[in-house]
Chains A and B, each alone.
Chain A
Amino acid sequence: MIRAAAGWRGWRWRWGAQGRRLEVRAGYPFAGAVALRARELARRPVVVAAFAVQGAALALAELVAAVTGDDLAGAGDDLVLGGLRLVAVPGGLAVGVLVAAVVGAEFGWATERALLARDPRRLRLAGYQLAVAGVLAAAWWAAQSLLAVVVAALLEAGGGIAAGIAWAAPAHWAALAAALAATLLYGLLGAACALVLRGALAGVVALLAWGLLGELVLAPRWAPASGWTVWTSAARLTGQGTTPLPRAVLVVALAFGAVLAGCLAIYARRQVRD
C-alpha cells in the first residue's frame, strides 16, 4: 500500500482488478465521496476530450514557436515559461468551461436531489461540488503543466534552442504557481456558474459570456476596467503584461473570495424544483 498524498492520511493507493486506484480510507466519507466522483469524471468522454484537445493545442503552440522561432506568450526563447503561461491563460478559461459543464451535468441527472434528500445541508453539497471542481482543476493543472514542461524541454533540447534559463529557475516555479492559482480560480468560477444557474449549458454560456465577451472584448474598451480583469491579473502573475503585481494579486484574491461567498450564499437557499 502506498501513501498518495502527504499530509492527508485519508488517501491511499490500492491495487485491484482494474489496476491501481486512489481510494480513501474508511472514516473519511466526504473525501471518499469526492474520490468516487473524481473516478467518475475520469470516465466522462467530455473530460478526456478536453484534456486531450488542450494538451494537443499546448504542444502544437510550443512546436510552432520552436520551428518558427516566434515569441511564445512573451517568453522569448523560453518555451517552458511560454508553455506555463498558456496553461494559466487561456488554459484557465478552458478548465473553467470544463468544470461548468461537468458540475452542471449533475443537475440534469438530478443527483443533487438524491443527496439533498439525504442531507439537507446545502453548503455541504456546494462544498462537495466545489471540492470535485477543485480536484478536476488540480488534475488539469498538473497534467497540462507537466506536458508544457516536458514538450518544451524536448523541443529545446532537440532544436538546440538556448533559453538562457534553467528549467528549474525561480521564474518557472513562479509561473507554475501562477498557473495553479489561475486554474483554481477559473475552476471555481465555472463551478459557481453551474451551481447558481443549475445547469451545464447555462453555466458554460455564463462563463464564456463573462470570460470572453466581458473580459476580452468589452473590458479593454473601457480603460478603468481593463487593468482589473481576472484574465489580465492571471496573466500578470505569470509575468505577462504591465498591470502592477500587487493589483493582480488583489484581483485574483478578491475574485476568489467574492465568487466563493456569492456562490455559497445563493446556493444556501436552493429549492429543488427539478
Chain B
Amino acid sequence: MYRRFGRTLVLAGLDLRVGQGELYGLIGPNGAGKTTALRVALGLLAADAGRVRLLGRDPRSAAGGRPRRVGSVIEAPALSPRLTGREHLALIARWVSAPDAEAGRVAGLLGLGRMADRPTATWSTGMRQVLAIAAALIGPPDLLVLDEPTVGLDPGHRRRVNDLLGDHVARGGTVLLSSHQLDDAERLCTRVGLMAAGRLLQEGPPTELGSAAGRYQITVGDPEAALAALRAVRLICWRDGDDGRVLVETGPPYQVGRPDGSAIARVLADAGIYPSDLRRSPTLELAYAEVTSGLAPDPVVPAEVAR
C-alpha cells in the first residue's frame, strides 16, 4: 500500500500480511510509517494506492452493518476526561454492542481496581495507557492492533500486558503491534517486520533476522579453552572483547544442522568448561541497526501516487 501526506511518501509500497493466530511485530525507526500503516489497516485513513483487507474486508467499508471484532490502541489513549475509567469501558462496550459486564472483565484483567471509578482526567499517563489497552480488549476482539502499547507502563503493567497478548494469541486471536521495545518484540512475536522509509525490508521470526541470527554468546573463565573445544566440533566462534565472552555462530548459512544452546553447553561440559552465562544474542537489535543504517534502496512509486 501507498500513502502520501503532502509531498511526503509515508507508505512506499508496504506489503504486509498477518495470518490468524500470529503475534506480528512491526519494528522500525520513528517516521518509518508504522503508525500510518496501522491507521490504514484499521480504515482510519485510506490508502492512495494498493489493496487493504482487514479480516477479509475493506477496512473502511460499512458492510456487515455491525461493529467489527477489532480492538486497537493508536498513539495516545483516546479518553473523555470527565468519564470514569469504568464508564469509558462501558461506553466502548456499548459502542461495540458487547454486554456491560465486559467492562468489569477487562478492568479485572488489567488490575484497574478502585482506580476505575475515578475520572480519567485524574489518571497518570501510564494508567491512561492501561485503560486504553483494557478498552481494546473489550469484546473480546479477534484482532488487536496496537501502536506501541507498552510505552509509559510500569514494569508490572508491561509484563501483564505482554502476558495478555500471549494469552490472546494462545486462544487463537491475532495481534498486530508496532513497538520500539525490541526485547519484548523478540520474546513475544511469532514474526516481526522491519520497516524503514515506508516499506518492509526484512520479515521473519525475530531470532532469524539480520546477520546475528542464531548467534549465541557465552561467558567463560577460560575463553581460549572454550574456543578450542567449540572449534574441535567445527563450530564457528570467536572472542568478543576481553571479559571472557565468546560468540558462537549457529545460524545458516554459517552452520549446517543449526546446533542450539544445549548442544553448545554439552560440547563445553565434555571439555570440562562450565560457562557462567550462555544466551542467544539479541539478534533483533542488530537487525534493527542494520535496517536503520541506510541499507534501504529508493522505492518504486506507482504513477497514481507519484506527484
Interface, chain A (partner B; CB < 8 A)? 26, 29-30, 32-33, 36-37, 39-40, 43-44, 106, 109-124, 271-273
Contact = CB atoms under 8 A, between A and B. Distances in A.
A123 B45 contact: no
Nearest to B79: A109
Interface of B: 5, 39, 42-46, 59-62, 65-68, 70-72, 74-76, 78-83, 87, 90-100, 119, 132, 135, 145
Contacts of A119: 66-68, 95-96
19 contacts: A33-B95, A36-B83, A37-B80, A40-B80, A40-B82, A109-B78, A109-B79, A109-B80, A111-B78, A112-B78, A113-B74, A113-B75, A114-B92, A117-B72, A118-B96, A120-B42, A120-B43, A120-B60, A271-B44
Q: Which of B59, B76, B91 neighbours the largest number of chain A CB atoms within 10 Å of its CB? A: B91
A39 B45 contact: no
B156 to A, nearest CB: 24
A106 B76 CA distance: 14
The prevalent SS among residues of A at the interface is: helix
Contact of A26 (B60, B74, B100): B100
B91 A36 contact: yes
How would you classify the secondary structure of chain B's contact residues: helix, strand, loop or mixed? loop
Contacts of A121: 62, 65
Given A114-B72, A117-B145, 18 more contacts: A29-B95, A29-B97, A32-B100, A43-B82, A43-B119, A109-B78, A109-B80, A110-B75, A113-B75, A116-B42, A117-B74, A118-B72, A119-B66, A119-B67, A119-B95, A123-B62, A271-B46, A273-B45
B20 to A, nearest CB: 19
A128 to B, nearest CB: 8
Given A117-B70, A120-B60, A120-B68, A33 B82 contact: no
A112 B43 CA distance: 13
Nearest to B60: A120
Contacts of A110: 75-76, 78
A121 B65 CA distance: 8
A113 B44 contact: yes
B70 A118 contact: yes
User: Among the interface residues A39, A110, A120, which one has the most CB atoms of the partner chain B within 10 A?
Assistant: A120
Contacts, number: 96
B44 A117 contact: yes
B110 to A, nearest CB: 16
B80 A111 contact: yes
B95 A120 contact: no
A30 B87 contact: no
A124 B97 CA distance: 13
A272 B80 contact: no
B44 A109 contact: no
A36 B76 contact: no
A47 to B, nearest CB: 10
B297 to A, nearest CB: 28
A109 B74 contact: no
A29 B44 CA distance: 23
A113 B42 CA distance: 10
B208 to A, nearest CB: 32
Nearest to B101: A26
B133 to A, nearest CB: 12
A118 B95 contact: yes
B88 to A, nearest CB: 9
Contacts of A32: 90, 94, 100
A110 B62 CA distance: 21
Contacts of B132: 114
Given A26-B99, A272-B44, A118 B92 contact: yes
Contact of A40 (B44, B67, B83): B83
Contacts of A112: 78
Given A120-B59, A120-B60, A272-B39, A114 B78 contact: yes
Contacts of A118: 67-68, 70-72, 92, 95-96
A51 to B, nearest CB: 15
A91 to B, nearest CB: 24
Contacts of B62: 120-124
A123 B46 CA distance: 17
A6 B97 CA distance: 24
A109 B76 CA distance: 9
A37 B60 CA distance: 25
Contacts of B70: 117-118
